[in-house]
Amino acid sequence: MEKRQIQSGRRYILAFLIGTFIFLNGFVLTYSFSYLEYQRVSRIQAEISYQLFQNKLKYYLFDEDICSADLLVELSEDLGFQGRIIDDLERKLGKNDKRVLFRKKFYTLMELEHFEFIKRINKECGAEIPTVLFFYSNDDLDLKKGEELGELLGVVYRRNPEIKIYSFDINLDSDLIKMLKEKYEVEELLTVVINEEIKVVHPKNINEIEQYLE
């Protein structure tokens, strides 16, 4: 009987060691994947951000044609790609991950750079590109409603591809977000600001937005 107890004890220890080894390996692999994914996203975002700033400086400092249609398409595609990168990073690392939040702040800066550029095109090129500022929340209680409004804005965009939609996390710890909320008097989440003039709180259908785009 004593020998059996010793063998049984050894089996428990061996099982414990194997389980610990598997757990640690899984943890290391998960961490490594997250780290590599974050590094990849950071590199891509840095490259796109550099391109955005470079293109803007060409037209600000070297008097290249700001009204170029190709320029607008290029900058908008770059910004859209950055947005998809942030969404992907949130899904893989979590919406509250500190690294994700930092990248999100940087993306907010890029959005405002693009927004300011669109305003200049409208002013100097006689363009009438509609803009929509969408303020949402990633809090668990508000997430579903925010996603629903995001889908609604997606439909609006598909019906009106000329518009530019900028999404801002109202709870992001950022001075830029605070200044935006003050400037456009945003007091509630799910607020949409159209062409910097019309404020719509939690629109329920497409018409509540499209009527102000014309």
Number of domains in the chain: 2
Give 123: exposed, middle or buried? Use CB within 10 Å, 0-12, 13-18, 19+.
Answer: exposed
Which pLDDT tens digit goes with each residue over 147-177?
Answer: 899 999 999 999 999 999 999 999 899 999 9
Residues 60 and 155 in one domain: no
Domain boundary among 108, 128, 148: 128
Residues 33 and 94 in one domain: yes
CA dist., res. 177 & res. 184, Å (int): 11
For the entire predicted model, the pTM comes to: 0.76
Residues 147 and 163 in one domain: yes
Q: Average the pLDDT over 63-79 and give the result.
A: 71
Domain boundary among 103, 128, 153: 128
Domain span at 173: 130-214
Which pLDDT tens digit goes with each residue over 124-147?
Answer: 888 899 999 999 988 888 888 888
